[in-house]
Chain A
């Protein structure tokens, strides 16, 4: 299974972290620092796999972002690369040629999409269309809810009554 997914920019900034195994906040920061050091220093055109603490970390670079996934030693690395690519394609489709800024300002959406693809570190939806549809449906639900309650005028009305 996938133990965690990290998105790290080339400058070492974290863009997304998802932990499927329990790590304390302290361990999380340590893991990110360690892996950042290992992965960001690797030259291009090398293989996409790094051994780390007995696990394997599969990473792939898209533009300035490194997508990393930590897996068990007997997992299939190429499969994980495909999952990463799958995620990127879906992000791309959702945001319309996704860039780092999209992920920065819509970090929760990146999470929602990831949650549709992976659950508990397992791939659950391999169809891009389905993921897009599910995310869109949820967005629609949220939007309608927002319109009902979220407007500023509503808020003032509520607060002043």
Chain B
């Protein structure tokens, strides 16, 4: 509107004149000029045309206005210009008696009106009502219905609902006589009215009582177009809202399903039944046979696909039908000519879900092959399907296959696969992973993928596993070492994050490392200059930790040998020292080995690692320490001048420590002096450092803070003004890290208790003593933190194991012969109660509540005031459960017999529709005989007896109409289905 007024001011002098009308450019002229313009001139041309339109559209002459509106419509729909300012002009033209103008005006309105932003929309109410009235020409009403179904606002829908009603009822045909459809005895407007009704219903639930009944009546109309439109409307309603109110209509839908031969209608009906069948088991039992028939007979793939989907989603218990559907999907998947069918087949299998995973297992070859399909969408679906089938029994095979395949695949899809593996394996704190050694090495392998761009997630998981899974740490350190010593990886920016994690892991869990010198060399290799500063800082910090560990181990080792030699002066002591010397030699050998070449024997590493760990006694010589010191000093030295503060600070820390050590006189003297000075020299410093790093870092639940109970007498809202007094006393409140918690652990036998009063702990204790009021109770804190719940969740799906054992075979060919599987129990994974891996499952409820009103209203109309669907179902639950039992047993029996039983069941019932059901059993009888003979024969039978069928269906329809009136009033689902 604002635009309109501005243009009016500019053109008010000339105004829309006769000249404008006479020489107005037509739409053709406009299109031609737009097409003939040079490439860059379009915006200028468009704005000129728009200015022209703004002038012309205000003309009093309807022709001029109409042409202007037409041009504007063109520009807005094709060139995306905003036409909302002209909404009023479109309204002006709506009442025009000329069909041409009216059509243009409605077109413009339907393209540009927006239900929530078009503020002139209420002004259209009167005109729409006039055009909808039975006295106006049907094509006018049709235009109005179109507009109503596209742009109606809730208010408009409420006001015009009574006007739709006559169009929806069959009587409309007699009043608005259409020349062509006389024989059909139905107005062409009725289907349109049905669809407009759908729109009005979903917009404004108030009109349900008025409109639903006529819509239900449409289902029994003789005009197939009306039926089609009504079924479409119900399909939309059922899928958008709670389906239970529509259960009473099931017999009607069932009749249509067996009668109709129109594929469009059948597809919609199947959609409805897919939603209704889970609510009513009797319905499913009735539907299985017609659905199977459709799958076998129909030549329309769209219909077959819909049958398959309906069976997969709504009939998980009917094995026989599922078998047929799965076979059909297999046909889809192996169809090399049609990528659509392959894609849809994969999607259909995804619906099948874990409950019937045998269906996927059977078509595993096609699914695996689809990973290499030329179409990225098909590959994506195959991956999604495979990942949906991962359980703890097959996660190893599938992951290994995908990671291997990612090596060969194109970069985008490779990362998609890596992402899928990472997400699935990391789900719910690694609930699927039993063998963490394997998983950690898999993470290492992923990093080796040249396309890998998932550094961030791999980094997170490496660190996370380090924190949570103690048993995985040795392997983690080994994987980290392999990553760190490879100079080639440093050049790949995507891997920096992974390297950062590797450096952190090898620094934090340095005690599991086997060759510290090699580690330090790897961390300080020249190519680390390629790393970004933050990662470099992590590297240097790792060096610091390694250094501290080496020294403190050396001192412990000296002490131990001293004690033992003192204790057993003659016999055992000698051997220990000998042993020490031997292994020290071994280490120095290692060092020279790595110096000369990188060809370090990795094969015997685990063995030596184990032996070292068993003794808990790493060995160092003074020479090796000196060498490490020298190496660090030369490599880190230049970094103390680095531009980045993080790098600089950490480098200076390391250098500071080294200088401090070197200044202590004991360093220069012999080993004897070294160890004797433990209490005040090198030993003390190193113990301090080591104590600092030996505290274990654990994961913290997001909700940890919340779980700490507020102590009695503590008022959290109280003013903290007296805190100022404490702060002025000059002591420093210790800063606790936010994301990590320090906790002492009992399992590390050696160092923990060796450092009784580290300075900071001491200060903290002092502070606590003085200001106990502001501290939370200590004991409670401690126990809570130590009491981590076990992660291994016994709830893992046991029932799947059978089905998935087969899936395991799926990857036989791509399996790497791995080491022992499941021989050791799953290690403990630290996991918090909540907040860690919470999977939101309440997503669906949001939509439900929104549609509650609509489904509630419809429920009321269709079921009367009988109450909630649950109660109506309960009324028949006894019967239905018995029926269900029967149905299940039927399924296990042979085909013809089950039909017999069902039909018998029909006859037993004292229902009003017994006549019909009997009739149906006749019809089935014919089928049955053909089926009894042979499946193959049935195909030819179908072709030859098609006409016979037709006849039979006709009969159906005629008879089916008699009990119709009773249907909508029936309180619950009709006896037909019992």
Contact = CB atoms under 8 A, between A and B. Distances in A.
Interface string A21-53: 010110011001000000000010111111100
A81 B340 contact: yes
A122 B195 contact: yes
Interface string A82-111: 100000000000000000000011011001
A145 B99 CA distance: 7
B653 interface: no
Contacts of B267: 76, 79
B236 A122 contact: yes
B63 A24 contact: no
A120 B376 CA distance: 32
A145 B486 CA distance: 83
Contacts of A141: 99, 139
A14 interface: yes
B74 A107 contact: yes
A64 interface: no
B656 to A, nearest CB: 56
A25 B84 contact: yes
B80 A14 contact: yes
Contacts of B376: 46
A141 B239 CA distance: 39
B198 interface: yes
A1 interface: yes
A22 B115 contact: yes
B339 A20 contact: no
B828 to A, nearest CB: 39
A155 B21 contact: yes
A79 B74 contact: no
A159 interface: yes
Contacts of B340: 47-49, 77-78, 81
B477 to A, nearest CB: 42
B264 A123 contact: yes
Contacts of B861: none
Interface in B6-45: 18, 21-22, 28, 31, 35
A79 B150 contact: no
Contacts of B302: 76, 78-79, 81-82
A81 B302 CA distance: 9
A17 B22 contact: no
B305 interface: yes
Interface residues of A, number: 59
Interface stretch (B227-235, B743-751, B780-788): B227-235
B737 to A, nearest CB: 40
Interface in B194-236: 195-196, 198-199, 225, 228-229, 232-233, 236
A24 B229 contact: no
Given A47-B375, A119-B146, A159 B28 contact: no
Contact of B114 (A22, A29, A81, A125): A22
B515 interface: no
Nearest to A20: B150
Contacts of A28: 80
**Residue among A15, A29, A120, A137 with most chain B CB within 10 A:** A120
A78 B301 contact: yes
Contacts of A146: 100
B107 interface: yes
Interface string B78-102: 1111111000000000000011100
A108 B104 contact: yes
Contacts of B225: 124-126
Contacts of A76: 267, 271, 302, 305-306, 309
Nearest to B106: A115
B76 A25 contact: yes
B375 A120 contact: no
Given A22-B116, A159-B22, A150 B63 contact: yes
A46 B377 contact: yes
B196 A120 contact: yes
B53 interface: no
Contacts of B187: none
A63 interface: no
Nearest to A149: B98
Contacts of B378: 46-47
Given A76-B305, A108-B70, A122-B195, A159 B104 contact: no
A119 B63 contact: no
B148 to A, nearest CB: 9
Interface of B: 18, 21-22, 28, 31, 35, 61, 63, 70, 73-74, 76-84, 98-100, 103-104, 107, 111, 114-117, 139, 145-146, 149-151, 180, 188, 191-192, 195-196, 198-199, 225, 228-229, 232-233, 236, 239, 262, 264, 267, 271, 301-302, 305-306, 309, 339-340, 342-344, 374-378
30 contacts: A1-B236, A16-B77, A16-B78, A25-B82, A28-B80, A47-B340, A47-B342, A47-B375, A48-B339, A48-B340, A49-B344, A72-B239, A105-B28, A107-B77, A115-B146, A119-B145, A119-B146, A119-B149, A119-B195, A122-B195, A122-B229, A122-B236, A124-B225, A124-B232, A125-B191, A133-B180, A142-B99, A145-B100, A150-B63, A160-B18
